[in-house]
C-alpha cells in the first residue's frame, strides 16, 4: 500500500491518483504540514493540475540503482545539494555554539534511536536485521565512561568539553521541533512494521556516510579543516572523528538490508513513505539544532 508521506493515510498499492487527490485537497484546506511538504518536495503552482499526478509518480519512481539509490539521492537532495541545509552549511565553518546546538538536540535523537532499533529487534525474527541493530545499539546502552568506544560516551564528553555538564544535559529538554520529530519516530517504531522502522531510523545515519558523494553530495557533513582548527576542543574532534570513521557507520549496510526485504516482502511503497516521514522529521530536528545554537550564541 501507499501511505501519505505527511499523515500516513493509507491508499491502495500504486494508487498515486488518490494520493495526489488527498495531497491537493489538504493543500486547498491549507493544512500547514501538507502545504510545506508539497512546497519542499514537489513545488508546483497548482496541485489540481493533472500534471501533479505525473510529477508525483516521477517522484516515487525507482531509478536504475533501485531503492538504495532512491533513498540516498532523496537524502542528498534534501540536505547536501547545491543549496545545502543551513545546519550542514553551518558545519562547514562551525562555531562553538553550533556543536552545542547539535550535541544537545542530537542526544535526544540518539536515545530515541536506541529505543527504535530495539523495537526492530523485537518485531522481527530475521538474524541479519537483529545483528545489525544490536551492533548499533549495544555500545550506546552498555557503555563505560572510561572507554571511548561508544557514540553516546563521546557525545556526552564533547558536550562536557564545551561546558555542558552531564547533569545539565540529563536535566535538559529537547526543543519543540525535536519533540515533534521524536514523536514521529516513536510512533513509527511502536505502530508500524519493523521494515518501516528501519527505513525511518537507520537511513538517518547517512549524514556521515562516506559514499554520500557518489549520490551527488556537494559537501561533507563537516569540513575536514575543522579537525585542524586549534580553538576547537579535543572532545569535539574525538567525537567528529568517531562518527566519520566508516567502522562506526552502518547506513549503507542497513539500506542494502532494507532494499532486499522491501523486495521480498513487497513493501517498497511503505519503505518510501516511512523514509519520507523521517526525512521531514529530521529536517525539523536540524532546525532545532540551529535554534539551540542561537540560544547559546546569545548567552
Residues near Zn ion, by CB under 5 A: 4, 6-7, 9
Percentages (nearest 5) of helix, strand, coil residues in the chain: 70, 0, 30
Q: Which residue lies nearer to Zn ion by CB, 7 or 118?
A: 7
Q: Which residue lies nearer to Zn ion by CB, 2 or 203?
A: 2
CB of 78 to Zn ion, least distance (A): 19
Length, in residues, of the chain: 299
Cβ contact 120:274 at 8 Å: no
Q: Which residue lies nearer to Zn ion by CB, 2 or 259?
A: 2
CB of 120 to Zn ion, least distance (A): 25
DSSP annotation string for 82-127: SS--HHHHHTTS--HHHHHHHHHHHHHHHHHHHHHHHHHHHH---H
Question: Could you tell me which residues come within 8 angstroms of residue 105 by beta carbon, excluding any fewer than 6 positions away?
Answer: 174, 175, 178, 285, 288, 289, 292
Question: Could you tell me which residues come within 8 angstroms of residue 99 by beta carbon, excluding any fewer than 6 positions away?
Answer: 158, 162, 232, 236
CB of 7 to Zn ion, least distance (A): 3
CB of 56 to Zn ion, least distance (A): 13
Q: Which residue lies nearer to Zn ion by CB, 165 or 187?
A: 187
Q: Which residue lies nearer to Zn ion by CB, 9 or 172?
A: 9
Say whether 10 sits in a helix, a strand or coil.
Answer: strand
Under the phi-then-psi rule, with left for phi > 0, alpha for psi from -120 to 50, and beta for the rest, what region is 174?
Answer: beta
CB atoms within 10 A of CB 295: 14
CB of 27 to Zn ion, least distance (A): 10
CB of 242 to Zn ion, least distance (A): 38
Q: Which residue lies nearer to Zn ion by CB, 41 or 222?
A: 41
Amino acid at each position: 500500500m501507499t501511505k501519505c508521506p505527511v499523515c500516513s493515510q493509507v491508499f491502495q498499492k500504486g494508487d498515486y491518483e488518490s494520493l495526489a487527490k488527498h495531497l491537493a485537497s489538504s493543500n486547498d484546506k491549507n493544512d500547514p504540514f501538507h502545504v510545506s511538504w508539497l512546497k519542499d518536495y514537489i513545488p508546483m503552482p497548482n496541485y489540481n493540475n493533472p500534471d501533479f499526478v505525473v510529477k508525483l509518480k516521477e517522484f516515487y519512481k525507482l531509478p536504475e540503482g533501485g531503492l538504495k539509490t532512491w533513498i540516498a539521492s532523496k537524502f542528498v537532495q534534501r540536505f547536501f545539494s547545491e543549496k545545502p541545509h543551513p545546519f550542514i552549511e553551518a558545519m562547514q565553518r562551525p562555531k562553538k555554539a553550533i556543536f552545542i546546538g547539535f550535541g544537545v538536540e542530537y542526544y535526544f535523537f540518539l536515545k530515541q534511536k536506541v529505543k527504535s532499533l530495539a523495537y526492530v529487534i523485537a518485531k522481527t525474527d530475521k538474524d541479519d536485521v537483529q545483528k545489525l541493530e544490536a551492533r548499533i545499539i549495544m555500545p550506546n546502552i552498555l557503555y563505560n565512561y572510561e572507554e571511548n568506544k561508544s557514540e553516546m560516551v563521546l557525545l556526552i564528553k564533547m558536550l562536557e568539553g564545551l561546558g555542558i555538564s552531564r547533569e545539565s544535559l540529563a536535566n535538559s529538554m529537547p526543543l519543540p521541533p525535536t519533540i515533534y520529530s521524536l514523536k514521529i519516530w516513536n510512533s513509527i517504531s511502536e505502530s508500524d512494521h519493523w521494515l518501516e522502522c528501519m527505513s525511518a531510523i537507520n537511513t538517518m545515519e547517512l549524514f556521515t556516510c562516506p559514499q554520500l558523494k557518489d549520490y551527488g553530495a556537494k559537501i561533507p557533513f563537516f569540513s575536514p579543516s575543522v579537525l585542524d582548527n586549534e580553538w576547537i576542543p579535543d572532545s569535539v574532534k574525538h567525537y567528529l572523528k568517531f562518527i566519520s570513521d566508516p567502522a562506526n557507520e552502518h547506513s549503507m549496510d542497513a539500506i542494502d538490508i532494507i532494499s532486499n526485504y522491501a523486495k521480498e516482502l513487497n513493501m517498497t511503497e511503505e519503505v518510501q513513505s516511512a523514509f519520507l516521514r523521517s526525512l521531514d522529521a529530521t529536517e525539523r530536528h536540524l532546525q532545532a539544532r540551529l535554534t539551540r545554537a542561537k540560544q547559546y550564541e546569545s548567552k
